[in-house]
Amino acid sequence: MIKEVLSIIKLTLLRFIRRNRLIALFFLILYGILLYQLIFLKEFESSKKIITLIVSYIGVLLTGGLLKDEINQGYIDILFTGIKRSRIILGKFFGISLIVITYYFLCLFAISIFAFCYKESFYKFIDFDGFIVIIYMISIGLFLSLYLRGNLNFVLIFLLEFLFIFYFDYIGLIDLLEKNSYISNRFLKIFFISPIFPHIVYIDSSNVALLSLSLFTLIFLVLNILIFKGMDFLKE
């Protein structure tokens, strides 16, 4: 099992190198902007939050076409016949996660180094909450890539989160969240606020809500495996 998952992780990494050169270039440009902010503006906390937001959406972007397009092109048929479908999903999930989390860690490490040079705590900026949000976004992106072609999963997630925030801000829910009126209710935290507003949960740093994001990540991953197993494009 481990050998098969590792082989799919390797293929996912190679796919990224071949097909996502623009995103790789964006990685370098973003890192340059981050270094500028750290060296000249000394914006440590805000840089961490902005990087978490951007990298989480990059994770979704990298899942685009990862399943639906490869199914239609017969790529999965050719390369993965004889490998259990659950291992295909796990390999692709861990492959994308490895790319994104490695980049995120390098960003946090840069922030921590510069913060330390300016007498800030080094470990303050090693942000495990951000890792949870990013992994959650990747799990949603991978799930939607079963149904949507290209980068439509990225477009859908971005628009939905923006529209949800705009709508709930309009009806005043965002103000209530900031005043901890609704966020004190654990049921709303776990089943409503966390999956719809992962970035607000991250900024709020609610432990219960972040744990619920971990739970939803697992749920999306399991659903992905079960649905993928039920498809008839591969022969068992």
Residue 177 is predicted with a pLDDT of: 54
pLDDT reported for residue 235: 43
pTM for the whole thing?
Answer: 0.83
Q: Give pLDDT tens digits for 82-133.
A: 677 788 889 899 999 999 999 999 888 888 888 888 777 766 667 788 898 8
pLDDT digits 0-9 by tens, 18-46: 777 777 788 888 888 888 877 777 777 78
- Summary count for the chain: helices (H), strands (E): 13, 0
Distance CA 83, CA 2 (A): 12
d(CA 218, CA 211) in angstroms, rounded, equals 11
Angle between helical axes of 85-117 and 45-63 (0-180°, round to 10): 160
